[in-house]
Structure 1
């Protein structure tokens, strides 16, 4: 679906994906205060290294803080 959407898009299209260990994902989720779902649901949905094939995606790892994420996206987009 996303590759089709990108092919149909007339502008610049880039893909970014968080590639985080489960424990880091859970820590970030807990830090948001979300009450809609918790660890049990996250474990059911979890797919380690779930890359989107057919797309030139940039990965955002656990070493990226918010400033680094913004910088990665901005520089990739040429801003």
Structure 2
């Protein structure tokens, strides 16, 4: 049976080819993913469906957050960037 939360596969899917995105995704996966609730894991997987420029804008806090849940996840993924 295929586990949709297989960390090895998710790490592979998280590779973006953009150093900043890779670093933020890796940090989240290492520090938060395994202990996150399934709803947050699903939200992270949905972020991986985004195009790199759109995801980068979200993670750099340059775009509006579609939902409060996405905002919370983005703040967890990149707490180092201060919001305006």
TM-score (norm 2): 0.29
Q: Which has the higher helix share?
A: 2
- The structure, 1 or 2, with the larger RCO (C-alpha pairs under 8 Å, 6+ apart) is 1
TM-score (norm 1): 0.30
Q: Which has the higher strand share?
A: 1
